[in-house]
Structure 1
């Protein structure tokens, strides 16, 4: 299974402040950090997310068709994280709401343009 996702950033400290607040909503903080890389998650927990300045020294760019998703505990948490992201300067990519019978999600782009989603699956709820 997936261990973590790494996204590129051209302003690591600015991006880190954004992810500090988003990840806090999931009860996780920074677990690894260097001058060029920061990761959030819980050792032994689910998949984490990291930010990095590209190793090759070139500008970070957004992958077309690439997206990382945060799993929420409830539809209410989806709404909260989606609203928080927008309040922190994220760009709307699709408002929080139902996508079919059991999938509820909101889509946004972080401060570097990386596409993210926060979702909740509610089979049988």
Structure 2
């Protein structure tokens, strides 16, 4: 459904340092490619398993701001990976938000989640879907 997700940054080097470490937790071991738009603005692109995350200087020359109500969620393989994502994000300039990493139930589904904001304020979620327990009848 999606080709890529693009987030704005006011400091691409700070973002590179943050995302290099956080995305490595998810197995993204190749560093970002740098591209320059026709207008001279710079962007970082992280590619992993057919997915792309872009980090860009805003091309309208206004400050990058976090989207109110926006979240980018990263699929994790285990609760331990969710915790590692969260802890690595915090150690590299991110901020923990909402509840501490842990299980959540949303309707009939269970998840292990952590929410952080990157150094520019973009809201990120690390999510692992927990197996649904059979219901007793």
> So what's the TM-score if we normalise by structure 1?
0.90
**1:66-77 to 2 correspondence within 5 Å?**
66-77=70-81
Taking only aligned residues, the RMSD between alpha carbons, in angstroms, comes to 1.6
> So what's the TM-score if we normalise by structure 2?
0.83
> Distance between the aligned counterparts of 2:45 and 2:51, measured in 1?
11
| Structure 2: segments with no counterpart, 5+ residues | 37-41
Q: 2:35 maps to which residue?
A: 34
Alpha-carbon spacing, 1:86–1:31, altered in 2? closer, same or farther (3 Å):
closer
Q: Is the 8 A contact 1:30 1:38 kept in 2?
A: no
> Distance between the aligned counterparts of 1:11 and 1:48, measured in 2?
19
Q: 1:106 maps to which residue?
A: 114
Residues 1:53 and 2:53 aligned together: no
Larger radius of gyration between Structure 1 and Structure 2: 2
Q: May I ask how many residue pairs the two structures share in their alignment? A: 123
Q: Post-superposition shift, 1:46?
A: 4.2
| Structure 1: segments with no counterpart, 5+ residues | none
